[in-house]
Amino acid sequence: MLMFACRVPSRRELDRISDNVLFRDNLCRFSGVETDTVMVAQQLVNVLKELDAGALATVQPELVRQLVAQKRLSDAYIGGHLALASDGTGIFASSTYHCEECLTQTHQDGRVVYLHNMLEAKVLCADGMALSLLSEPVQNPAGGAYDKQDCETKAFKRLVPRIKQAFPRQPFVHLLDSLYAGEPVFQLLSDAKHQFICNFKRGSIPTLYDEALELLNFHPENTFGVELMTGKKGRVRQTFHWLDNLEYQGMTLGFVRCKETDRKGEVTTYAWLTSFTVTQDNVQEIARGGRMRWKIENEGFNEQKNGYAMEHFCNCNDPNVMLCFYLILQTAHTFMQLLARSNLLDQAVQALKHLAYTLLESLRTTRLPAVVPDQLLPPMQIRFAKAET
C-alpha cells in the first residue's frame, strides 16, 4: 500500500528506500509489530502468490459501502442514484508470449501483442474523485483474440451481476461510453434495476439517432437554456433539447442533446440516451452526469498509469500476483484521493503527486510519536472539500 501511495516507481526502488532505520521504525509503529528488517520486494511477491485475489477484491466495495453509509459521497449522486462508470484499461502488454490467459492483438503490420486488460467500475464524484468499486478481468475465450467491443461488453455482462450481488439495494446510474449503446447492455441494466446515461453517437445506432433528431422537430417545447461559468471556457451558453418517449427494442428511453456555445461562438454538441424520464427539472443534471464520465479516464486510469506506473508493476509471470498488485493499487489510490480532499491537509499538498512525495519523505525523515493514534482516543471527523458548483 505504501509503495503505491508514495508512488515508488519499482520494486527495486522500494528495496532501496526501505533500507532505512527510520522508515523501518515508523512502519513498526503503524503495524504494531517489531521487526529488525523490512520485507524485500521478492518476499512481497512470494506472499502475494499465496494470497487469494478474490479476498483482496472485497476491500474495494467495502470501502465504498462505508463511505456511502457515512454519507461522505453526497456529490456522487445523479437523480438519487450513485454514479458509476466502467471502462477497460490495459495492465500488461508484451511482444512475447506471457501466459495461457493472455489476449492477443494483431496489428496491421503483422506485429502480435500479448496483453492483459481489466474492466474497472469506479464511483465518480463531482469533485474529481474516481473511487474503484469492482474490477473484472477482460477475457475472451474465442481463441484469445482481442476485440475491444466484444471483450469489454462481455466483461461488463459479468461485472453488473457482481455489483448487484455486492449492493442489492443501492440505486446505481451507469455512465456509459457509446461503446455500450445497444439493447443487450440496456436490458442487462434494466434487469438489475439500475439506471443509465449513455453517450450517443450516430455510429452507435444510426436509425435510432436519426429518429431522435427527427422527433425533436415535433417537440419545440422541450427546450431549455442556461448560462454558466466553467473553468476552462469561461462563460458558456448551454441549450438542451430532449425527448422522453423514444421507443427502442421494447424499451422507452429518454434522449438529451446539449449544444454548448462558448464566448468565441464555437458550438459543441453532446447527446445521450438515458433510462431516466427526462423533464426540464432534471435535463441539466442528466447532461452533467453524462459529461462526468471523462473523470474515469482523467482521474482514474491516466493517473494510475502515469503516476503509479501501473503497467510496470503488473508485469509479472504469475497472473494471481499481477491481479493482487492491481487490486492493492486501486485501494491505495482510493485512500490517497480521500486524504488529498480532506481537511487534514492544506491546499499546498493536495496535488496527489506532491502528496505522495511528502508522505514518503516524512516516513524516511520524521520519527512518528511513540503512541500512534488509536481507537482509545476521542473520535475525530474528517470532512471533504465541497465540489465547485
CA dist list (Å): 101 to 118, 330, 359: 13, 22, 37
Residue type, 345: L
| Per-residue pLDDT tens over the stretch 337-389 | 888 888 777 765 667 888 888 889 988 899 887 766 665 667 777 777 655 54
Look-up: residue for cell 503516476? 307
Question: pLDDT band at 171, cuts 50/70/90?
Answer: very high
* Mean pLDDT of the residues in the chain: 86
pLDDT of residue 373: 60
Question: Nearest-CA neighbor of 290 among 163, 200, 371, 202?
Answer: 200
Stretch among 53-57, 84-88, 308-312 having the lowest mean pLDDT = 308-312
Q: How confident is the model at residue 205, as a pLDDT? A: 93
Asked whether the CA dihedral 328, 330, 336, 342 is positive or negative, the reply is: negative
- Residue 83 belongs to what H/E stretch? strand 81-94
| pLDDT bracket for residue 251 (50, 70, 90) | very high
Q: Which of the listed ranges 37-41, 43-47, 298-302 does the model predict with the highest average pLDDT?
A: 43-47
Nearest to 314 by CA among 59, 45, 130: 45
Indicate the pLDDT class of residue 169, thresholds 50, 70 and 90.
very high
Q: Which residue has the cell 464566448?
A: 263
Question: What pLDDT is attached to residue 319?
Answer: 84
Q: Which residue has the cell 467495502?
A: 62
Q: Helices (DSSP H) in 233-340: which residue ranges?
A: 283-291, 295, 303-307, 310-313, 319-340
Span 10-36, average pLDDT = 85
Q: Which residues pair with 106 in a beta bridge?
A: 112
Could you tell me which residue, 346 or 260, shows the higher pLDDT?
Answer: 260
| Top-ranked range on mean pLDDT: pick from 145-154, 164-173, 326-335 | 164-173
Instruction: pLDDT band for 249, please (50, 70, 90 cuts).
Output: very high
pLDDT at 332: 92
- CA dist., res. 258 & res. 44, Å (int): 50
Q: What is the pLDDT of residue 389?
A: 46
- Please give the residue that has the higher pLDDT: either 227 or 230: 227
Between residues 371 and 168, the one the model is more confident about: 168
pLDDT for 134 beyond 60? yes
Rounded percentage of the chain residues whose pLDDT exceeds 90: 45
C-alpha cell read off for 149: 467491443
Mean pLDDT of 106-121: 86
